[in-house]
Amino acid sequence: MCLEQKGMWKNMKTELDKCLAGEYYNCHDTIFLEYKKKARELLTKYYSLSYDQKTEKLGVLKSLFGNIGSNVSVGSPFICDYGCNIFLGNNVSVNMNCTFVDCNKITIGDNVLIASNVQIYTATHPVELNERLTSDWNPDSGEYFCRTYALPVTIGNGCWIGGGVIILPGVNIGKGSVIGAGSVVTKDIPENSVAVGNPCRVVRKINGEKDES
């Protein structure tokens, strides 16, 4: 292999690199299948532990998540894709029946409440059909039949995410904000705001000032 070819090979992005960069990636690449396998095994172990086995459950979460702070609770059932892209701060409560599709990073700050049935998605696909379908797709290629990319989600310190909220890829929720139950968050929410609805919009500031937008 010539030096030019070596340099090109060294600079080639892996599928994981592409994923975390928000580019199209092959979600059936070996690395992602390994992540999923490990996550399923750890979640099965987590479900098998009784409510009062706090130490053992924390040990599983430490193996599952990319980071977990102190005083964190995660209710069962809990579903995630990889686990390793989930980063939790201190004093975080994740209630039961939550789903975190963590193909890209999900970062949750300190002192955050996440109610039951909250869904956080990082993976997405192009809207246009001709862009969404993988061109010249071959079932034996190992690729997925449609294009996938993933965008990170961030929830700031002191937030409260109400029951049944859906947070879409690429959303940032500012510190201290409250998202009303059943909302679908499609775009960034500024800090210290109450936001509700589908699509979710700011209705007032936490200090009581009504938002007129």
- The residues annotated as belonging to the active site are 125
**In the numeric block, which tokens belong to residue 206?**
């936490």
Q: Which residues contact 128 (CB under 8 A, 6 or more apart)?
A: none
Q: What is the 3-state secondary structure (H, E, C) of 33-97?
A: HHHHHHHHHHHHHHHHCCCCCHHHHHHHHHHHCCEECCCEEECCCEEECCCCCEEECCCEEECCC
Q: At what angle do helices 30-48 and 54-64 cross, to 10 degrees?
A: 170
